[in-house]
Amino acid sequence: MDLIAYWQRRLAAVLRARFGRDDGGASLVEYAFLVGLIAIVCILAIAFFGTSVSHKYSITGSMLS
């Protein structure tokens, strides 16, 4: 049997399965990073626009009463 053919049939598949790239954990980290970034943006938006929006809602509510 040819050594190269043996390598291609047996060992290459085993090594590919064992040391192949697994991106499952990376996608979880990316999703966690995106959720954290969205939460930070929401908190900053509420802190920045919160008082002015609350004021406008109270003016609108008093006009309706």
- Interatomic CA distance for residues 24 and 29, integer angstroms: 9
Q: What is the pLDDT of residue 21?
A: 67
Which tokens sit at 27?
A: 């996608």
CA distances from 29 to 20, 22, 49, 59 (A): 19, 13, 30, 44
pLDDT digits (tens, 9 = 90+) for 35-49: 999 999 999 998 988
User: How many Cα atoms are found within 13 Å in the side-chain-facing hemisphere of 17?
Assistant: 6
Q: What is the pLDDT of residue 34?
A: 93
pLDDT digits (tens, 9 = 90+) for 7-28: 777 777 777 777 766 666 667 8
